[in-house]
Structure 1
Amino acid sequence: GSLFERDRDALPILLQIFSTSQYFSDLLIQDPGGYDLLRVTEGQPVHRDVLVAELAAEIDVLADPAAVSAALRRYKRRETLRIAYGDLIRGQSLETVASQISFLADAIVEAAVRFARRQLTEKRGRPGRPDGQPARFAALAMGKLGGVELNYSSDIDLVFLYECDGKADGPRPTTNVEFFDRLVRDVVKLLTEPTDLGYAYRVDLRLRPEGERGPVAHSLEAALSYYDVMGRTWERQAYVKARPVAGDRDFGHEFLQSLEPWIYRRYLSLADITGIKALKRRIEHRVSHEGDESRNVKTGRGGIRDIEFAIQFLQLLNGGDLPDLRTGNTLEAIAQLENVGCLTHQERSLLDENYRFLRKIEHRLQIMFDLQTHLLPEPPGELRKLAIRMGYRDAPQKTALAAFDADYQSKTAINRKILDHLLHDAFGDDAQTEPEVDLVLDPDPPPEKIAAVLGRYPFRDVPLAYQNLVSLATEKLRFLLTRRCRHFLASIAPGLLKTIAATPDPDSTLVNLEKVSDSLGGKGVLWELFSFNPPSMKLYVELCSSSPYLSSILIGNPGMIDELMDSLVLNKLSTRESLRETLDELSRGAEDLEPILHSFKNTMQLGVGVRDILGKEDVHASTAALSDIAETCV
C-alpha cells in the first residue's frame, strides 16, 4: 500500500512487467528494493565504458572466485532489470535495448578476464614475449554479441587469442600455451558454472580455429595461418560480426585488421556463393527435420536467419572495396547497403521493419522465463498472450491473434522472397557456370582469365567483348545502382553469353547490346527481370542481333526501358481504335504534337517488332498493325 501511495505509477508499471515476464517478476519479488532502483534509473541506457569500469571496480577488491562469480551474476540481474524497464516501460528502440544487453555482456566478460588473469599471474607469473614485454590477450565476440545486438537469453560466442608463444616468469616453468589455455578455462568457468544465482552466460567456443578439435586459445600467428590456409567461406561470414570485447582490445582490432583482406576479398566467387547457399540449406534441413520450421522465429523460412544471411551475403559480395559495409550490426548493414546501392529503398524498408518485428518477438519469448527459445507457442491461447505482449489488441474486424498471425505470415514470406531473389534464385549451383559468374564479379581479372573464359565463345575480338561485358555491369547514371547491376548481370552471365554466342555475329550482337542497354538507363532492372524470366533475355538478345531498326529506336530514344519491358510482356497487338484512344489521351492539351507523335510511333512499332521476333504474328498481321500506327499518326 505504501508503495502505491508514494508512487502512483507503480501499479501500471508492475502490471506491465508482471504480465510480460515471469523471470523479471521473480527478480523483483526476491529483491524488493530493486523496484525503487528501477524508478531512480528509469531504464536509461548506460555507456559501455561506464558499465565496464563499474563492474571492474567491484571485482578488483575480491579475491575469492566464488565471490566474483556471485558478483557477476548479481550485476547481470540488476542491469538486465534496468534494460528491461527501458524496453517494456519506456519503449526504447531495438538498437538501444540490444546494445545495452551487449554492453552488459562486454562488462561481465571483461571483469571475468581481468580477475582470472590476475589470479593466474599470481600463481604462474606473467606470460611474456621474446622482447620481455607482457604477451597481450584478447577475447573476440562473434555472432549477436559481436554485432552489438544480443538477446536477453542467448549464448555468447567467443574466440580467444594471445600474442605469441613464450613463457611465464613464475616460479615453475609455464609456457604461454599452457598459461592462456588455463586462463580461458578459468574465464569460461566464471561465466558458465551453475550457482545459487544461476550462470552468467552460456559460452560457445566452437567458432575458434579448428572448432572443437582446436585449442581454446590460439596465438596470433597460428590463427592467421589457419585462416590463410584452411579458412572456409562460412568462417569469413562469421567474422563479419567479430568484435573485440575484453582483454587488450587494441590487440583484437589489430588481428581483425590483419584478417580483413581474407574476410572481404576482392570479389566473392561462385564457389563462395555456393558455399553460403549450402550452409543455409543445411540449417534449413536441420530445422525441417526437427519439425519446428513454421514456428521458429530464428531459423524458420523468412525468419531472422534469412535476413541475416541475405545481408551478410551482400556484405561479403561488395565489402571488398566498400569499407562502409564492414559492420557486424544487422540494422546498420541494411542501411549502408541501401546507401551504396546494393538494396533498393523498398527492400531496405521491408527488411528493417521485418527484422525489428522478429527480434521483438524473440525478446518477448525469451524474457518470459529467461529461456533461450525461438519457438512460437503452439496452443492458440498462449500464442494470443504473445500477440497481446507484442501490442496487438482484439478488434471487431480481427482478433489480436489473427492480426499477429497475419503479420507474421506476411513478413516472413516477404523476407524469404527477398533472400531467394538476391541469393538462391539469382545464382545456380552448376560448377560449369562458375568462370562466367566470377569474370563479372571480379573487378580486375587478369588477361589470361578473360581469354580463358570468353575464349570458349565465338568472339573474334575477346578484349573488346570483355570491355562491352564490363559496360553491361555499370550504370551510366549516378543515381542508379551499379552494385546491384553487377550482382544480377553476374547471375545471368552464363545464359546471356550462351545466347549471344548462338547469334550469327556474336561480336556485333554484344556491341549492339551494350549500346541499346546504355540508352535505356536502369540496366540492373533488365538483368533482374532476366534472372527470373530467361525467355525475356533471349528475346532481348534476338532484338539486338536481328533487328537494327528496333535497336536504332531504342538507341535513338534514351530512357525507353519502361516501353521495352511493356513490349516484352505484350499479350496482343493494339487495335486501330485503341491506338486512336491512346494517342488522343497523350495529345490532349498539347501545344507541340511532333514529339508526342514520334514517341507514340516508336513505342507502338517496338511492340509490333517484338511480337514479330517472337513469332506471335504472321507477316500480314504485322504489316497491318504498322499501317494502323501510320494512319493513326496521320
Structure 2
Amino acid sequence: MSDQPAILPQPILDALACSRFLRRQLDSRPWLAERLAASIGAPLDATALRDYLRDEKVDDNTLKPVLRKLRAWVIAHVMVRDIAHLADLTEVTETMTLLADIAVEATHDVLRAQLVARHGTPLSADGREQEFIIIGMGKLGGRELNVSSDIDLIFVYPEDGSTAGPKIIDNFEFFTKLGRGLIQAINDITGDGQVFRVDMRLRPNGESGPLVASFDMLENYFITQGREWERYAWIKARVMTGIRSAELTAISRPFIFRKYLDFGAINAMRDLHAQIRREVARKDMVNNVKLGPGGIREIEFLAQVFQLIRGGRDTSLQIKPTLKVLGRLAERGIITHEADRELAAAYDFLRRVEHRLQYLDDAQTHNLPTEPADQAIIARSMGFGSYEALLTELDDHRSAVARHFNSVFGDPNEKGHDLDTLWACAGDEARCGEEFQRLGYPDPAAAARRLATLKTGNR
C-alpha cells in the first residue's frame, strides 16, 4: 500500500476494520485509496460515474477492465460512507443501482456500435430503426440493489426485420448477439474481478426460452403462458435502455394489473405465502435475514401482493420501491400506520445488516455469521456494543414482520394438506424422493423427477 496516502481518513480506517474485502481492494489497487479519500465526502451520482468512464476512455478494448475498476471504486465508496453512518439505506441502494444502470448503458453502447459496423442497423420491415430494450427486474427494477447483488435482466426488441448490411442478419440474431456480449462483458470474472452476476431466468420460458423476445413474442407469452408468479415479478420491471418504453408498458400492464379488484390472485398468493412459510421453517433458514422468518422477502412479498390485487384499480400503487408502496398502503387504510412504521423500520434494519454481511468478503450472503470474530464485526459496524444486543433488536424486527405477514395472509379456514410438503420440495430430488418413499411409492426417484417436471412446466 505504499502508493496510498500516508494517513487514511478515519471513515476509511473504520471501514477497513469491518471489511476484509476493502483491505484486499486497497492492497491490489494502489490508485483506489486516493480516489476514495477524495470522494467519500458526498454521494456519487450518475454524472460522476459517467465522467469516470469518459476519463478512462472506455471502448472496445478497455470495456471490461474499466467497468471493473468503476465497480471497485463505487462499492468501496458506498461501503465507507455506510459504515461511517454518512449514507442512509436509500443512498446505498440508489448508488448501486446507478452503477448497474451505467454499466449496462456503457456496455450496450459499445457493443451495439461494434455490431452495427459489422451488420448494419437493425430495421423493421418498413425501414424503422430497432432498439434493444433492456429491462431491469427485482431489486434492480425497484432501484433497491444491494451491494453484492446479481442483476435480473430481460431483453426485448420491438419488431422483427433484418439489418441494413454489410453482412445482413435478422433482428433476432442481431439482438441475441448483443445480449450475449452484454452478459459476458458484465458477468465474466477476469483478473480485475466482476461487475455484476447477470441472471436471465425471469425471461419468458426461463432458461429454456430464447435470450431475446420481440414485442409480439412477449405479448403472446403473457396471454397464453404467463403465470401468477410472473405477474408478481413484473411489478418491479423497469426499462433501462430504449425510448419505446410506453409501448412495452402497454403490453405488460394488462398482464400485471387487472382492471378489477383481483381476488383471483389472492388464492395464488396465499399458496405462495404457504410455500414461503414452509421454507422459513427449515433449520438452515433461521439465520438468513432475507429468506428466513420475518426476513426481507416477507416484507417485499406483503407489499407486492397488495399491488397485484389492487393496482389495476388504484394506479397510484403501480410504483416500485418497497417502502413507498408500504406508505401508499397505509394512506389508503389497507394496512395500519403502525404496520407501515414497523415494517419500514424492520426493512431498513434488515437491509443494513444484509449489507454489512456482504461487506465482509463481497459475498452474496444473507446468513448471520457463526464465527465470533465476524459476529463482533457485524455488531460494531451496526453500532452495537455486542452481538447479543444486535440479535435482540434483530429478533424484535423479525417478530414484527412475521406477525404482520401472517396476519395479512392467514386463512381462518386454512388446513394443511398431507401433500403440501411433497409439492413444496418438488425440484429437490433427494428430499422429494424421501417423501415418495414414505408414501410407499415403488420408484420414489422416478416419481420425484416427474413431479419436478410437472411443477416447473409451463402448463
What interval of TM-score do these two structures reach, taking the shorter chain for normalisation? 0.7 to 0.9
- In 1: Cα distance, 2:203 partner to 2:342 partner: 34
CA distance 1:91–1:143, change in 2 (3 Å): same
- Tell me the matched-pair count: 416
- TM-score, length-scaled by structure 1: 0.62
Q: Which amino acid aligns with 1:358?
A: L
Q: Residue 200 of structure 2 is aligned with which of 194, 202, 205?
A: 205
Deviation at 1:381, TM superposition (A): 4.6
Matches within 5 A, 1:201-350: 201-245=196-240, 247-248=241-242, 250-286=243-279, 288=281, 291-350=283-342
- In 1: Cα distance, 2:245 partner to 2:413 partner: 35
Q: Which amino acid aligns with 1:44?
A: A
SS at the partner of 1:177? helix
SS at the partner of 2:153? strand
Structure whose residues are more often helix by fraction: 1
Deviation at 1:99, TM superposition (A): 0.5
Give the structure 2 partner of residue 54 of structure 1.
51
Deviation at 1:59, TM superposition (A): 7.4
Q: Which amino acid aligns with 1:227?
A: F
Deviation at 1:276, TM superposition (A): 1.9
**Is residue 141–residue 243 contact of structure 1 (8 Å, CA) maintained in 2?**
yes
Give the structure 1 partner of residue 440 of structure 2.
none
- In 2: Cα distance, 1:34 partner to 1:5 partner: 10
Give the structure 2 partner of residue 406 of structure 1.
392
Structure 1 portions without partners, runs of 5+:
394-399, 431-634
**Is residue 268–residue 316 contact of structure 1 (8 Å, CA) maintained in 2?**
no
**Is residue 43–residue 84 contact of structure 1 (8 Å, CA) maintained in 2?**
no
Deviation at 1:3, TM superposition (A): 11
**Is residue 83–residue 381 contact of structure 2 (8 Å, CA) maintained in 1?**
no
Give the structure 2 partner of residue 116 of structure 1.
111
SS at the partner of 1:69? helix
**Is residue 281–residue 293 contact of structure 2 (8 Å, CA) maintained in 1?**
no
Matches within 5 A, 1:18-57: 18-48=16-46, 50-51=47-48, 53-54=50-51, 57=54
- In 2: Cα distance, 1:324 partner to 1:177 partner: 36
- In 1: Cα distance, 2:275 partner to 2:196 partner: 27
**Is residue 38–residue 82 contact of structure 1 (8 Å, CA) maintained in 2?**
yes
Q: Which amino acid aligns with 1:305?
A: R
Give the structure 2 partner of residue 370 of structure 1.
362
Runs of 4+ in 1 over 6 A off after TM superposition: 1-6
Deviation at 1:35, TM superposition (A): 2.5
Larger radius of gyration: 1
**Is residue 17–residue 25 contact of structure 1 (8 Å, CA) maintained in 2?**
no
Q: Which amino acid aligns with 1:351?
A: L
CA distance 1:22–1:426, change in 2 (3 Å): farther
Give the structure 1 partner of residue 125 of structure 2.
130
Give the structure 2 partner of residue 164 of structure 1.
159
Q: Residue 88 of structure 2 is aligned with which of 78, 93, 101?
A: 93
**Is residue 55–residue 107 contact of structure 1 (8 Å, CA) maintained in 2?**
no
Deviation at 1:429, TM superposition (A): 8.4
What is the percent sequence identity of the aligned residues?
32
SS at the partner of 1:103? helix
Deviation at 1:32, TM superposition (A): 3.6
CA distance 1:257–1:90, change in 2 (3 Å): farther
Matched, 1:425 2:411: yes
Higher relative contact order (CA 8 A, sep 6+): 2
Deviations 1:48-92 (A, max 9, x none): 3x256435635765232xx21111101111122222222122431
SS at the partner of 1:215? coil
Moved more, 156-165 or 15-24: 15-24
SS at the partner of 1:128? strand
- In 2: Cα distance, 1:11 partner to 1:137 partner: 43
Deviation at 1:213, TM superposition (A): 1.2
Deviation at 1:275, TM superposition (A): 1.7
